Amino acid sequence: METLWEMATSDEKQEAMFQRWLTPEGIDFASAHAEQSYKERVTRIKDAIQLKKAPDRVPVIPTIGFFPAFYAGMTPYDVMSDYKKLYAAYKKYTLDFEPDAHLGLLHPGPGKLFRMLDYKLFALPGHGTAPEHTYQYLEGE
């Protein structure tokens, strides 16, 4: 037996996804302004993706890598080794630049765990590269 979701068109599914994003359950916004800004960002992204109406401006969703660490005066080693520093760096970046969205923490990984395991896929900050350098993939020919 097909469910209503399985019978929905891709446009209907996308609209449902955006409605869930616009009205998230269990989120208490810090202020009315924060909630309004959030909804403006979601609407901007929705409008840009759906191309049904022009967004108020082009959404900004950068791939930022270790930029928040450098911007906050920290090293890749710092943010890969100390999650309080990682949080502080990304919070500073987010509040200062106010991107419309971000792709998550794609780069800083659990440096302590990688070092304990003597992880071989990357040369890590402080374990194969200098603490102020990002990690390096170790690839053969």
Dist CA 135 CA 117 (whole Å) = 15
Model pTM above 0.75: yes
Q: pLDDT tens for residues 57-99? A: 999 999 888 999 999 999 999 999 999 999 999 999 999 999 9
Q: pLDDT tens for residues 113-138? A: 888 888 888 888 988 899 999 888 88
